[in-house]
Amino acid sequence: MFKVSVIIPTFNRNRSVFRAIDSAMSQTLAADEIIVVDDGSTDNTGNLIRKHYPPVKYFYQDNKGVSAARNLGIAEASFPWLALLDDDDEWMPHKLEKQMQLLRANPDLKLCHTEERWVRNGVRVNQMKKHQKSGGWIYQKCLPLCAISPSSAVLHRSLFDEVGLFREDFPACEDYDMWLKICARHAVAYVEDECLIKYGGHADQLSAKHWGMDRFRIDALMGILNAGVLKNDDKKATQKILKKKIQVFKKGAAKRNKLDEVKKYEDMLLAL
């Protein structure tokens, strides 16, 4: 069964979330349901969604973070395929159609992502080579940085039964952690056409709120190493990138006089 639930977490973005909802409702292949999980907004998001988007399934929770909001959406979703969409992003009209067509043609694959367009402060920007997307066995490409944008992902719910839900103790980089867990175990499908517009440059992006983002990636890398699922080449590549990220983060922690964190990561390096 190839029915799709769209899951949109949101928090105090009652301007951009409507653009996201509109893009989900304008697909050439209609989603079977659209779920918005409001993570404790105080900007009247709920009333506006109920008024202007009655078909949308709306859920409210106290502010717990994007992972908890996505996880609630996953729990409430009625269908086996789940399409994630962040509240500040926008789908192009053909996105779901192209992805579901590719997944039907490759029934052994359970995760599909797409090419994307970046817009920052209203201006289109080119991605660097390190951000180039691809399909297949991409685990090692997921090590330096997040190789799959959540808003481009369609995945089968059975993957969460296998690897667990998004980590709610991660205020950021929860997607990096998830793609490591999945891509260590599965190949992925990739649509080469641009199907997503990612908007950046706004002050409330999670990446602008947390210093030392690599500390979450380090935790994720330690987790996948300890899971015992990596092939030998993948394990070596993971250890290499982990050492590099620990060195970088240790310098940042030292500059901020975070001496306890410096000691913790020095001990980690010695143990590798």
All structural domains of the chain with their residue ranges: 4-203, 214-271
Query: Strand pairing of 111-120 and 154-156?
Result: antiparallel
Question: Which amino acid is located at 98 in the chain?
Answer: K
C-alpha 201/C-alpha 37 separation (Å) is 23
pLDDT confidence of residue 258: 81
C-alpha 66/C-alpha 10 separation (Å) is 8
Name the E strands within 121-158. Answer: 123-125, 154-156
**Contact predicate 61/38, CB 8 Å:** yes
Name the E strands within the chain. Answer: 4-10, 33-39, 57-61, 81-84, 89-91, 111-120, 123-125, 154-156, 189-200
pLDDT confidence of residue 75: 98
**Contact predicate 91/117, CB 8 Å:** no
pLDDT confidence of residue 209: 54
pLDDT confidence of residue 182: 98
- Residues in the chain with pLDDT values less than 50: none
CA-based nearest residue to 82, from 22, 3, 26? 3
C-alpha 36/C-alpha 38 separation (Å) is 6
Superfamily of domain 4-203: Spore Coat Polysaccharide Biosynthesis Protein SpsA; Chain A (3.90.550.10)
**Contact predicate 242/217, CB 8 Å:** no
C-alpha 230/C-alpha 127 separation (Å) is 29
pTM of the entire structure?
A: 0.93
